Structure 1
Amino acid sequence: MTMPKRVRVNGPLEPYADGFRSEMQRRGYAPWSVVFALQAMAGLSRWLVARGLDMAGLTAVELDLFVRQWRTSGPKRRRAPRGLPVLVSYLRVQDAIPELVSPPSEDRVDVLLDEYATFLTDERGLAEGTVRYYRSTAKRFLISVPASTYDAALPQVTASAIRSFVIAVSARRSTGSVKNTVTALRALLRFLHVRGYLDDPLADAVPAVAGWRHRPLPPIVGAGDVARLLGSCDRRTATGRRDHAILLLLTRLGLRTGEVAALTVDDVDWRAGEIQLRGKGNRYERLPLPNDVGQAIADYCRRGRRRDGDRGLFLHARAPYRALSSSAVGHIVTRACERAGLPRVGAHRLRHAAADA
């Protein structure tokens, strides 16, 4: 990874490079966001030299030509230079350039989204999949706000804009999906306030989502049902041994599907009789491994798991032999219910069965 201090800026913008770098670092931008912005600065400075222009010659027309040239200068450059909007804002504050037409709002938002994703990973410790979802939700919201900018504390983000966005989402999505969107939107608004992009905390302006009050309760999974689920696995086959071990982890230890999917062969400490889990927020914890669960995992590893697969503990039964995903673990529970003649239950219900045992 290129460090910010290693990006050299020559030409008319060179006198402003150190100050621009320091200002971005002071505002809490991630190192790679600073690198992208400095690379844009270096490219713009080279452009001015090639065009025989000084700072006063950087007009809106020239800036637009620079962006077009950047986008067509290589196979990987299909977007505006990342970091260019914050550079333009900085040069304006320094009175180094005349008034310019800003780059497209979506490009301005991208730099903020990079900073937001880094914040979610480094400071909140969220999992990669959660960060991707929160970032995509943030992007949909920010580009929906007319002429949204992040260099002026996002003044266009209002309670009215927030409510309009949630209402639009609720018109085309399920209740559960809208609730996830609302959670992600509140996280974004808290970030914007903490980092100084919003003067007022607007997380409370996000409307709550009403759910169904009289939904039928999910089926109760009792000890007899668990026995039927485990007995439905044909342990004469590799797939049956795998499914039997997974169901034991879900029912005996109460693991989440994501925790089961994230297990690797290195997470089982056979000598200590323990298993290491990757929980929410990338936190690790160790649990004792009951004898029956350990025997089921060992049986699968010896007589079912492909040795030419990856390091995931539970692999797909067919090539490519990759680790199961969280949804694949859920499908295993669904198929076990069908084989056992039981109503379909989610894998999360098996956690309750483990708690009640």
Structure 2
Amino acid sequence: MDVIGGRRRGPVPLVVTGPLSPYESLVRTELVSRGYAASSVRDAVRMMRRLSLWMDRRELVAAGLTPARVEEFLAFRRAVCSSEPVARRSLGAVVKVLRHAGAVPVPVEASGDAVQEVLADYGAYLRGERGLAAESVRCYCGQARKFLAALPDPLDDSLARLDAVQVTAFMVRHTADAGSVWSAKALVTAVRSLLRYLHVDGRIPAPLTGSVPAVAGWRLDSLPRGLEPQQVSALLSAPDPESPAGRRDRAVLTVLARLGLRGAEAAALQLSDIDWHAGEIAVRGKGSRVERLPLTAEVGEVLSEYLVEDRPRCSATAVFLTARAPYQALTGACIRAIMGRACERAGLPRLGAHRLRHTLATTILRAGAPLPEVGQVLRHRSQLSTAIYAKVDHEALRSLAQSWPEDGAR
């Protein structure tokens, strides 16, 4: 507070001077639109002002604010005050806005980052040419990184000399340590995809997908593992009902349990996907397909409560958002974390979100629905995907069982 003529007045508005002054209005507007509280915006602009003055003394222009200069400024702040963590957090928000606007340089990925460069190109190929969803791209790139990181430096020379013997040796070694058949199969699929891309891109001399051995495993060799009704109820009741984040988590779990959505599908839901008048919800599934499901009363109730009472007011269009600014759409990893926390609170072992999808399918079967109807609810493209649930359709299986011969024990 300042005192003028014996009267108090409010804080003097912060004004940014120096090389960053043209961007003050942009930073304020962007931070407000991303849901930052007024106090957080003030802290960020205050840090922007200090940074701009520091740059001015060193005769730096905005384009000279490289990542190294940012770290140099933070080191300066550490020397003059003890609030470096706060400074880093506030400054991080400012720098993100400036980089997004093209006002300051974007950091170039470093490391022995030939691997990172190949993965960036490969990810762009998966998104643009193959049309894979973001979560699928993440999984493929994660597996591909293991293969590329195993090659000796320099990477370009290793790829140019890559042969079938090296590929097969890597796969035999790593699939043995995968932990499960499905993990090994995921590695096989990703490496084959990577090798196809590397050949098309001219980085390897020959198509080597045939040198990736298959993993022994058979369709329908396991039982779908559903949960009991009381376990589902415990999961839905697990999130904290007194906090906005807890009520958001309950809405997420209800969507998974009652509509059978995959975790990535729940994360991808947009506000425009909910048709309240028609009582339908559009789901963006595998293969970029958009399908419509009925919006049940229970799901509609928890969604409307979350959207009206707890969802942050911001420009983001996703249904489910992070609980703290900057507000962003939840990711598949966030959905898995929500499920994990609910399992812990409900006293259950950590389960994947897909377990709720299995539970919905087995519940529908027990209610007397035929397998094709289960496939429609789960939005399977192939009947083979639904066929596994025949194993838990006990009523249908009972009609196929042959009676035990009376004298069979003799």
- Equivalent residue, structure 2, for 1:327: 333
Q: Which amino acid aligns with 2:137?
A: V
- Which deviations, in whole Å up to 9, do the C-alpha atoms of 1:23-48 show, x marking residues without a partner? xxxxxxxxxxxxxxxxxxxxxxxxxx
Say yes or no: does 1:128 pair with 2:134. yes
Distance 1:309 1:178, change over 3 A: farther
Say yes or no: does 1:342 pair with 2:348. yes
Residue 267 (structure 1) shift = 2.0
3-state SS of the aligned residue for 1:349? helix
- Equivalent residue, structure 1, for 2:229: 223
- Equivalent residue, structure 2, for 1:239: 245
- Which deviations, in whole Å up to 9, do the C-alpha atoms of 1:272-330 show, x marking residues without a partner? 22222222333322222112101110011111111137322112333443322222222
Task: Please give the residue correspondences for 1:70-219 in structure 2 after superposition, counting only pairs within 5 Å.
Answer: 116-131=122-137, 133-135=139-141, 138=144, 141=147, 144=151, 156-170=161-175, 174-175=179-180, 178-191=184-197, 202-209=208-215
Q: Which amino acid aligns with 2:209?
A: A
2:296 to 275, 284, 290: 290
Task: Please give the residue correspondences for 1:263-282 in structure 2 after superposition, counting only pairs within 5 Å.
Answer: 263-282=269-288
The answer to whether the 8 Å contact 1:250/1:354 transfers is no
3-state SS of the aligned residue for 1:307? coil
- Equivalent residue, structure 2, for 1:307: 313
Residue 257 (structure 1) shift = 1.0
Q: TM-score, normalised by structure 2?
A: 0.50
3-state SS of the aligned residue for 1:208? coil
Distance 2:242 2:141 in 1: 45
- Equivalent residue, structure 2, for 1:25: none
Distance 2:227 2:208 in 1: 41
2:360 to 351, 354, 357: 354
Q: TM-score, normalised by structure 1?
A: 0.56
3-state SS of the aligned residue for 2:291? strand
Aligned residue pairs, count: 252
Distance 1:257 1:180 in 2: 18
Give the fraction of aligned pairs with identical amino acids, expressed as a percent: 45
- Equivalent residue, structure 2, for 1:249: 255
Distance 1:181 1:313 in 2: 32
Q: Which amino acid aligns with 2:269?
A: L
Q: Which amino acid aligns with 1:278?
A: R
- Between 285-294 and 336-345, report the one with greater CA deviation: 336-345
Distance 1:145 1:160, change over 3 A: farther
- Which deviations, in whole Å up to 9, do the C-alpha atoms of 1:122-145 show, x marking residues without a partner? 332112343355456557646827
The answer to whether the 8 Å contact 1:333/1:346 transfers is yes
The answer to whether the 8 Å contact 2:175/2:187 transfers is no
Q: Which amino acid aligns with 1:285?
A: E
Distance 1:194 1:349, change over 3 A: same
Distance 1:278 1:291 in 2: 21
Distance 2:356 2:152 in 1: 43
- Equivalent residue, structure 2, for 1:16: none
Distance 1:288 1:319, change over 3 A: same
Distance 1:138 1:218, change over 3 A: closer
Residue 114 (structure 1) shift = 6.9
Which protein, 1 or 2, shows the higher relative CO under an 8 Å CA cutoff with sep ≥ 6?
2
Structure 2 stretches lacking a partner, 5+ long: 1-104, 364-410
Residue 183 (structure 1) shift = 1.3
CA RMSD for the aligned pairs? 4.0
3-state SS of the aligned residue for 2:345? helix
The answer to whether the 8 Å contact 1:242/1:314 transfers is yes
Distance 1:309 1:315, change over 3 A: farther
The answer to whether the 8 Å contact 1:219/1:343 transfers is no
Distance 1:115 1:324 in 2: 25
- Which deviations, in whole Å up to 9, do the C-alpha atoms of 1:114-166 show, x marking residues without a partner? 7654542233211234335545655764682798879xxx8744321111222
